[in-house]
Amino acid sequence: MTSLDEFTLIRRYFTPSALPPHIVAGVGDDCALLTLPAGCELAISIDTQVAGVHFHADADPALIASRTLRCAASDLAAMGAIPLGFTLALTLPAVDEVWLGSFASALSVTAGILQCPLVGGDTTRGPLCISVQVHGAVPAGQALRRSGAQAGEDVWVSGTLGDGAAALALLEGRLSASPEADAFLRQRFYEPDINFALGVQLRGIATACIDVSDGLVADLAHIATASGLAASVHRDLLPMSPLWKTGVTEEQAHSWALTGGDDYRLCFTASVSQRTFLSTLEGLVLVGNMVQADATVSAGTVTVLDKHGVTCDISSHGFCHF
Ligand code: ADP
Ligand code: MG
């Protein structure tokens, strides 16, 4: 521990040396000033990671940094926004320059990859806690909301599901994996891909969109609720990585893919007429459809069907009745 004062700390670790032209003022003034592209709305989202709740206090600070920024940026991709910059509220129990050096340099690398520069923040002393607020831009009226899905539309996901839950099982010693699977799962957990380009491409095509952070069933339920519909998902269409899937029971795999969370894929709805086009985009998989709510299936309900069209009981980990 050293006795670094707050402003030296900010200057040393959290002041990017070069900023893109749309950042009129970054770290160092009372507010950051950002120029919003003409005709755009500002998209804002904040994510907080608390030590002992979202990560272990002794976890690698570089991995915490990468994961925190990526998870926050995922919400911008889900709205079809492009990143403008982010602010960081950092609460530290003490000034540990080794920790700070590693955290700040990984944060800066990730900011560079995502083209989302650090533009300001707040630094306080207390239990380790990291909040990242991302700011993005989306052409007015074109954001991908949760509320636009229509009955009969397709439900798509942008890549493999269940990786987040499998990674957590691996990190907690509940899953053994080959070196290749181990590397894949750690990368998916700490460096989830954030596909801003896909979000942009889906403007005007996806009628509703969300990022899968709490699990497909829970997140698709948010689209269903916001759109006043129900949804069906075909369990056997869920894309899963063979790297970990072969090492667990089918029931476990389905449970992770449906309810595991931490996948940071996009889940979106689109008209059936978009199928041909969407099938040409890499990684997209059609997994279900939106249906009218009625007396038996209320709005916001997500039903999981097996290959015979029989409803699966997802509360008991993929077990199917009959
Ligand atoms: P104020 O008191 O006006 O809120 P501060 O003294 O807290 O400002 O911060 C000084 C400057 O440093 C501000 O520009 C603020 O955005 C920035 N800043 C503070 N903490 C961080 C941080 N952890 N990362 C990036 N910028 C920070
Ligand atoms: Mg001030």
Work out which ligand 1 atom sits closest to the CA atom of 30: 3
Q: How does 109-142 read in b/e, with b if 16+ C-beta sit within 10 Å?
A: ebbeebebbbbbbebeeeebbbbbbbbbbbbeeb
The torsion angles phi and psi of 119, rounded to 5 degrees, stand at -120, 0
Torsion of CA 295, 300, 306, 311, to 10 degrees: -30
* Choice from 14, 15, 27 to test ligand 1 binding pocket (greatest atom count within 8 A of CB): 27
187/120 Cα distance (integer angstroms): 27
What token pair was written down for 237? 């269409």
Atom 3 (ligand 1) nearest CA: 30
How far is residue 136 CA from its own chain's centroid? 15
Which ligand has the nearest atom to the CA of 117?
1
Atom 22 (ligand 1) nearest CA: 121
User: Which residues have CB less than 5 Å away from ligand 2 (the ion)?
Assistant: 30
Q: Is the CB of 231 under 6 A from ligand 1?
A: no
Q: Is the CB of 16 under 6 A from ligand 1?
A: no
Q: What local confidence, expressed as pLDDT, does residue 314 receive? A: 80
Q: What does pLDDT average to in each consecutive run of 10 residues of the chain (322 residues)? A: 80 94 96 97 97 90 97 98 98 96 98 98 97 98 98 98 96 94 96 97 98 96 98 97 95 95 96 97 97 95 95 63 44
Give distance in angstroms: CA of 75 to centre of ligand 1: 24
Atom 11 (ligand 1) nearest CA: 28
133/138 Cα distance (integer angstroms): 16
Give distance in angstroms: CA of 134 to centre of ligand 2: 20
Atom 13 (ligand 1) nearest CA: 28
Q: What local confidence, expressed as pLDDT, does residue 313 receive? A: 85
Q: Is the CB of 10 under 6 A from ligand 1?
A: yes
* Choice from 123, 133, 134, 135 to test ligand 1 binding pocket (greatest atom count within 8 A of CB): 123
Give distance in angstroms: CA of 146 to centre of ligand 2: 35
170/159 Cα distance (integer angstroms): 20
Long-range contacts of residues 270-278, Cβ cutoff 8 Å, at least 24 apart = 270/153, 270/154, 270/156, 270/202, 270/205, 270/206, 270/207, 271/150, 271/153, 271/154, 271/207, 272/152, 272/153, 272/154, 274/154, 274/205, 275/154, 277/205, 278/154, 278/156, 278/205
Give distance in angstroms: CA of 130 to centre of ligand 2: 20
Work out which ligand 1 atom sits closest to the CA atom of 27: 14
Q: Is the CB of 30 under 6 A from ligand 1?
A: yes
56/222 Cα distance (integer angstroms): 29
The torsion angles phi and psi of 64, rounded to 5 degrees, stand at -60, -45
100/96 Cα distance (integer angstroms): 6
